[in-house]
Every structure is written in C-alpha cells, then in structure tokens.
C-alpha cells in the first residue's frame, strides 16, 4: 500500500513544478530575464530654445566715411523715427537745407542737410521717378531712391538742390518739392536697384544714404 501512494503523488509534484515555470508577461520567470511591453516614459524636460537672430549692425554716429563698400546694405526700405537735437527746433521750422554727394571706392554717399539740430521722421526706399504729388521728375538713372522727410513746414521757402556725380552708383540727386507735410529727394541710381543703407545724425540734423554697387 505505501508503494502505491508514492507512485500517485509523483505526477502531482511534476505538474506543480511545471505550472510554476510558465512565463507571465511583465513578470520575471525563474528561467530568464523579465519581459516588458511598456514604452519608455516621455521626456518632461522643456524643448531647447530657438537660436537667437543676429543683432543688426549699429548705425554710425558720425559722417566718417567707410574705407570701402563692404558695409551692411540691402535694397529693402529703411526709415527712422524723429530724434531731438541738443537745441529745440521750433515747430514748422524744419526744412531740407541742401544736398551733398561724395563718391568713394565702391559706393556713393548722399547727405541731406536739414535746417535744425534734430531730425524729423524719415524714410528711404525705391520708387518710380515722380514728385511728391505724383508728377514726373526729370532725373538721370536706371532706378530711383525716394527720401521722404516729414518736416511739417508750411508750403513755401523750401530749397531747390540738384547735384550730379560720376563715377559711382549714384548719378544724380535732387529735391523734388513738398506735399502734405513731407519734403522729398530723389536719387538716380546707375545699373538698376543697388544695395543701400540710411541713417540719421543730429546736431546738425542730417540724413545719410550710402549706396554701393551690388
């Protein structure tokens, strides 16, 4: 009788051992490493910041001429807000006083002299060769830069200036009149639109336009 009981218990022990070695997903089995089907957790860290844009080149603070035409320039419109000078300019007293052209290696400079110590609002950009009221203007060149100066002076008393130079990217510049608070200057450019830069200076008030060959 004892031998018969031992034979009956042996299969039960084998079945119990087999059940204990079955692999269960996500749980380590005695015969090998644990298996896992879960994805790695997402990163909670912030995204890296974008690269900062390069700072624009500072505007010159005097009329010192560049050695050559390697200064930053493009054909996009440029403009500036009004800047006070050391002395107060009475309202309505600002006017364009004259034009000065000078040609250097690879570029031409136009200086628009103003009658006050400050500088009013201004803009420079390529346009058709027309006056402030839209009429045609007789001026040499293949492309034309328009300088607008918001002098807000009363009509009358504006100066008339016309200057030419050669060689260089600028062939002519002239005042074209006054309309609705703005005095204008046209600059005739040789060879089509060329890169330029523009900036204002105070004491005395001036607007400087440097045009270089592209």
Residues 31-57: pLDDT tens digits?
444 444 555 566 666 777 777 666 666
Q: Total domain count for the chain?
A: 1
Question: What's the distance, Cα to Cα, between the start and end of the chain in Å?
Answer: 113
Are β-strands 107-114 and 206-212 bridged in parallel, bridged antiparallel, or unpaired? antiparallel
**pLDDT attached to residue 67:** 86
**pLDDT attached to residue 16:** 34
Q: How far apart are CA 162 and CA 185, in angstroms?
A: 9
Residue 34 resides in a domain: no
The Cα-based distances of 128 to 81, 187, 190 in angstroms read 24, 11, 14
Residue 90 resides in a domain: yes
**Lowest pLDDT segment from 44-58, 116-130, 152-166:** 44-58
DSSP 161: -
The Cα-based distances of 210 to 66, 88, 105, 142, 196 in angstroms read 10, 28, 12, 17, 5
Are 167 and 208 contacting, i.e. CB atoms less than 8 angstroms apart?
no
At residue 142, does pLDDT exceed 60? yes
* Angle, alpha carbons 112-116-118 (nearest 5°): 85
Residue 47 resides in a domain: no
Residue 188 resides in a domain: yes
Q: How far apart are CA 7 and CA 10, in angstroms?
A: 6
Read off φ and ψ for residue 64, nearest 5 degrees.
-55, 130
Residue 96 resides in a domain: yes
**pLDDT attached to residue 188:** 97
Residue 105 resides in a domain: yes
Mean pLDDT, the chain, rounded, equals: 82
Q: How far apart are CA 90 and CA 39, in angstroms?
A: 74
The Cα-based distances of 39 to 23, 36, 42, 43 in angstroms read 20, 9, 9, 12
Residue 43 resides in a domain: no
What confidence tier does 6 reach under pLDDT thresholds 50, 70, 90? Answer: very low
What confidence tier does 112 reach under pLDDT thresholds 50, 70, 90? Answer: very high
Q: How far apart are CA 27 and CA 153, in angstroms?
A: 88
Which residue range forms the structural domain that includes residue 131?
Answer: 80-212
**pLDDT attached to residue 41:** 61
What confidence tier does 66 reach under pLDDT thresholds 50, 70, 90? Answer: confident
CATH number of domain containing 90:
2.60.40.3500
Distance of CA 208 to the CA centre of its chain: 19
Residue 58 resides in a domain: no
């Amino acid at each position: 009788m004892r031998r018969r009981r031992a034979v009956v218990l042996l299969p039960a022990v084998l079945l119990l051992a087999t059940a204990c070695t079955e692999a269960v997903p996500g749980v380590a089995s005695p015969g090998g490493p644990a298996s896992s089907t879960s994805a790695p957790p997402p990163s909670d860290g912030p995204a890296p910041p974008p690269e900062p844009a390069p700072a624009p080149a500072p505007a010159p603070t005097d009329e010192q001429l560049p050695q050559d035409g390697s200064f930053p320039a493009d054909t996009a419109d440029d403009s500036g807000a009004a800047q006070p000078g050391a002395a107060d300019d009475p309202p309505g007293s600002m006017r364009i006083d004259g034009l000065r052209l000078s040609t250097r290696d690879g570029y031409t400079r136009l200086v628009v002299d103003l009658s006050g110590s400050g500088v009013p609002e201004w803009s420079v950009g390529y346009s058709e060769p027309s006056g402030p009221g839209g009429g045609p203007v007789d001026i040499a060149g293949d492309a034309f830069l328009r300088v607008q100066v918001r002098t807000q002076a009363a009509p009358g008393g504006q100066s008339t200036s016309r200057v030419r130079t050669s060689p260089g990217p600028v062939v002519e510049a002239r005042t074209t009149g006054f309309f609705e608070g703005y005095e204008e200057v046209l600059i005739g450019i040789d060879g089509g639109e060329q890169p330029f830069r523009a900036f204002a200076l105070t004491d005395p008030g001036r607007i400087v336009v440097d045009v270089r060959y592209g």
